[in-house]
Each structure stands twice: as C-alpha cells, then as structure tokens.
C-alpha cells in the first residue's frame, strides 16, 4: 500500500481517533446533537490538524526540544483562530451552534497526540496526509453519532425530515444521556467484531500505544509497585548502613 494512502487508511479505519483510540470525547459527546454539527466540528478539526501537522513537520528541526510543547500550542492556537474567524464570516449559524467547542480545539488531545507522536518525527508530506486521515476519521465518527442521535431524537437527517409523521421522536437521544448511549452502542459494535480499540481488553492491538488501556494500566501499576519496592529496599539498606556507622 502506498505510504500516503496508508496514512489515510490508518486515520479513518485502523487508528480511528474516536472508535479505536477513544480520544476527543469532549466534542464527540457535546456537539453531536445533529449530523450537521458533527460535520462542522469534524471538518474544522481536520483543517487545524492537517495544517498543524504540516507546519510542525516543516519546523521540527528548528524547534528546540525544551520548548516544543509551547511552540505546538502557539501554532495550533493560531490555526484555530483562523478557522473560527472563517466560520464567523461565512457560516455564522454553525459557529454559533458549536460555540465554545471551536476554541477548545486548541487543547484537543487528537491534535497534540498526532503532532507529538507523528508530525515531529516524519516528513511534511506524510505528516499532512496523517492529519487528513485522522481528521476524516474523526469527522466520520462525529457524523455517524450525530446522524444517529438526530434521526432518533428529532426524526430528521441533516435538517431534513425523513421519518413518517407517525414517528414519535425519542428526545433522550438529543440530550446528554443520548450521547453516551450512542457512543456506547457503537463502541459495543467495535468490540463485538473484535477490532483493536482502547476499550477492547480481549485482544492485542498493533497500535503504537498498545491500544489496550486496561492492560496498559495494569502493567503500569505493576511496574510502579515494583520500582517502589526496589526504592524501599535501597532506602532500608542506606538507613541500616547509617545506623552501623553511628554505632
């Protein structure tokens, strides 16, 4: 598979930030009351992610390691400001619906994760396609969740009524609990088909982070206590030697 196509495939399917990596849960749960909101948020994030990856990759050799995180924040915040100004100018209704969640793209863990883990270590072209792939994967996930919630909660899809007049909307799906219900159902499908995901504890993952949060947590816990026991042994030995010298 071509490297550039592979980056797109990884972001959309293999390492989907929402359904596989379980990242960006705040906007995923908050803005997906409709498919339009999901598309707007997803495409805005895609634009910022692709541009941030491109710029950070191009500047990676010039950014000192000690100040890389502040540098990333400045770049991402500048891009988010540009996106928000464009939305205010050309799609004010969408900007009003998304509200505070557009500025909050600045601290989206998907963006900083890709910038730090990929863009800072790879070429400009691959980093740009990685950003596009991850952004499209995030967008598809938000549209899917938003469409599901809008269809059941309002009887519409992208603002158009498609359900019969006899249909009674299930209002809970356009409320906060509905976001959790839909995300849980889609995650359950993810685990049902044994796809690698952060919530799938029954299967090893090929993701760079391991993809298995439960296993990772248990291993980290065990390693922490192992190091703690060693530190206690060293401390006890040092104290014993001090006592002997004093005697």
Selection from 11-20, 126-135, 207-216 with the highest mean pLDDT: 126-135
SS (H, E, C) 118-142: HHCCCCHHHHHHHHHHHHHHHHHHH
pLDDT confidence of residue 135:
94
Please state the pTM of the whole predicted model. Answer: 0.76
Average pLDDT over residues 155-184: 87
Question: Which residue's entry shows tokens 């299930």?
Answer: 170
In terms of Cβ atoms closer than 10 Å to its own Cβ (0-12, 13-18, 19+), residue 32 is: buried
**Share above pLDDT 90 across residues of the chain, in percent, rounded to a whole number:** 38
Q: What's the CA angle centered on 5, arms 2 and 11, to 5 degrees?
A: 135
Residue 242 has pLDDT above 50, yes or no: yes
CA dihedral 25, 107, 140, 170 (to 10 degrees): 40
Do residues 18 and 108 touch, judged by C-beta distance below 8 A?
no
pLDDT confidence of residue 220:
46
pLDDT tens digits, 106-160: 988 899 889 988 898 899 999 999 999 999 999 999 999 999 999 988 888 888 8
Helix (H, G, I), strand (E, B) or coil at 156: strand
Average pLDDT of the residues of the chain: 83
pLDDT tens digits, 74-117: 999 999 999 999 999 999 999 999 989 999 999 888 998 899 88
Question: Which residue's entry shows tokens 């600045």?
Answer: 106
- Band (pLDDT 50/70/90 cuts) for residue 38 is very high
Listed residue (138, 139, 140, 162) closest to 150, CA to CA: 162
Residue 185 has pLDDT above 50, yes or no: yes
Cα distance between residue 166 and residue 34, in whole Å: 21
- Band (pLDDT 50/70/90 cuts) for residue 213 is low
pLDDT confidence of residue 123:
92
pLDDT confidence of residue 15:
86
Cα distance between residue 137 and residue 188, in whole Å: 18
């Amino acid at each position: 598979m071509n490297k550039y196509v592979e980056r797109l495939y990884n972001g959309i399917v293999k390492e989907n930030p929402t359904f596989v990596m379980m990242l960006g849960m705040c906007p995923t749960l908050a803005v997906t009351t409709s498919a339009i909101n999901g598309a707007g948020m997803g495409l805005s994030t895609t634009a910022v992610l692709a541009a941030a990856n491109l710029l950070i990759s191009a500047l990676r050799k010039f950014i000192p390691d000690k100040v890389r995180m502040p540098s990333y924040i400045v770049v991402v915040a500048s891009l988010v400001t540009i996106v928000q100004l464009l939305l205010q100018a050309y799609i004010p209704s969408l900007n009003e619906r998304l509200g505070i969640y557009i500025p909050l793209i600045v601290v989206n863990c998907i963006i900083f994760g890709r910038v730090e883990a990929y863009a800072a270590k790879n070429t400009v072209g691959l980093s740009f396609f990685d950003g596009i792939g991850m952004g499209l994967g995030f967008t598809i996930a938000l549209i899917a969740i938003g469409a599901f919630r809008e269809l059941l909660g309002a009887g519409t899809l992208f603002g158009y009524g498609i359900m019969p007049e006899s249909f009674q909307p299930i209002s809970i799906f356009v409320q906060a609990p509905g976001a959790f219900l839909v995300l849980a159902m889609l995650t359950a499908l993810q685990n049902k088909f044994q796809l690698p995901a952060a919530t799938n504890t029954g299967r090893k993952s090929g993701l760079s982070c391991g993809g298995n949060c439960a296993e990772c947590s248990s291993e980290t816990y065990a390693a922490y206590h192992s190091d703690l026991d060693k530190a206690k042994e060293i401390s006890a030995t040092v104290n014993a030697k001090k006592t002997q010298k004093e005697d």
